[in-house]
Amino acid sequence: MGQAKTLTDQELKRVLNFVACQKHAKRNRAMLLVTHWSGMRVGEVAALRIGDVWSAESGVKDEVRLLSEQTKGKHPRSVFIPQKLRRELAAYLATIDRTDISKPLFSTQKRDHFTANTLCQHFHWLYRQAGIAGASSHSGRRTFITALANKGVGVRVLMALAGHRNISTTQAYIDVNDEMKRRAVELV
């Protein structure tokens, strides 16, 4: 199996338009955008608790501190949340009960937490139903890293944002595209 598809802006809009017409639209939109705009792994998204992203005093946090048990490599890390994602999370949080901040941020329709596996399957279904071939739960993360690389963010910064321990892992995520190559040759 190859790497997950990197989505274009138009493909992401297509998925979000599909999600908008489905049950749990705000939840599904927020989950997808967390992967696309913060680069979190699907297992990290599934492990999020309300208190990880929200506080009664300050609202949606601009930095999420993931504990070792919430990450793939069992290494705690910080995830920075851009303003546009904070707005999306605030819209979603307004639709749920936030009194118990230890509860999962994203719950299934049965009010259970998502496991990494069930969320992977859910993302795969959303992408497939939206007609995006080759996309998977890892597509948001790859799209995030590739988009930042395309904007000139250095690989060491990308490595830190992705929570990778090895720079070669980060390099494998970057999907080189024609626009990147066009800009590169113009530097000569």
d(C-alpha 118, C-alpha 122), whole Å: 6
Q: What is the pLDDT of residue 81?
A: 97
Domain boundaries, the chain: 9-140
What band does 23 get if pLDDT is binned at 50, 70 and 90?
Answer: very high
Give the model confidence (pLDDT) of 120-164 as tens digits. Answer: 999 999 999 999 999 999 999 999 999 999 888 999 999 999 888
pLDDT at 1 over 80: no
In sequence order, the 6+-apart residues with CB closer than 8 A to the CB of 92 are 26, 27, 29, 30
Nearest alpha carbon to residue 91 among 54, 118, 63, 128: 54
For the chain, the average pLDDT equals 92
Of 179, 175, 149, the residue nearest 161 (C-alpha): 149
Is 70 exceeded by the pLDDT of residue 38?
yes
The CATH superfamily holding the domain 9-140 is Intergrase catalytic core (1.10.443.10)
Structure-block tokens of residue 1: 């199996």
Question: Strand (E) positions, the chain?
Answer: 54-55, 59-60, 63-66, 77-80
Q: Which residue has better confidence, 170 or 139?
A: 139
Q: What is the pLDDT of residues 57-71, one digit of tens each?
A: 999 999 999 998 998
User: How far is it, in rounded angstroms, from Cα 62 to Cα 79?
Assistant: 9
Rounded to whole angstroms, the Cα distance separating 5 from 39 reads: 14
